[in-house]
Amino acid sequence: MTDQATDVLVVGGGPAATWAALKAAEAGARVVLADKGYCGTSGATAAGDTRVRAGAVVLATGGCAFLSGALGTNTNTNTGDGALFAAEAGAELSGMEFSNAYGIAPEGTSVTKTALYTFATFYQQDGRVLEGAASAGGRSVIARELLTGAKAYATLDRAGEKERAAMRLAQPNFFLTFDPLGIDPFTDRFSVFLCEANCPVDALFVSPLTRPLP
């Protein structure tokens, strides 16, 4: 077994973990970053037997969404093994209530890029604006509309050209839902629903992506 001593142990290699490791190192701390792949990627768990003694631990191993079927959450990623690892080590976990948040997704998909809907206008099935609906602080309005049996729609029409280009660069998988169907999410209305990222998609209401009637 290899023994290492460090000031900060960062578990995970995604953007959050990498940023935490960089900032800790910039502050003068000795940092060890442990990931099952390479920074910025997720892959099969690498073999090894290492013990790290650290003054502080940052756990940023992603969520537990491998059953959702969402893009990038296959059987090797978002497995919840980081939370299990922490629990087995005796860590006290906080903020777990946020692990079951319902994200906004195009209906019939599991692509929950809720932050992008900051630039959205939401609509009722009859074309009227769904007042109060928003990605932050307004998802309950969308939920109430869906619970009536009606559909809810969105258009990312509040995004300017700069934001649109940035979205396509940063989240290309979001547009895989729309591009093959010839839907422009910045100008066309598309149906949305709320998807619990930690649930299997087949346990949720799923129907084909549709556009509203004129």
- CA–CA distance, 208 with 98 (Å, rounded to integer): 28
Label residue 68 by pLDDT band (50, 70, 90). low
92-112 pLDDT, tens per residue? 776 665 555 678 889 888 787
Mean pLDDT value across residues 179-196: 90
Q: What is the pTM of this model?
A: 0.54
- The secondary structure of 114-174, three-state, reads HHHHHHCEEEECCCCECCCCCCCCCHHHHHHHHHCCCCEEEECCCCCHHHHHHHHHHCHHH
Is the pLDDT assigned to residue 194 strictly greater than 90? no
Pairing, β 2-11 against β 50-59: parallel
Label residue 79 by pLDDT band (50, 70, 90). low
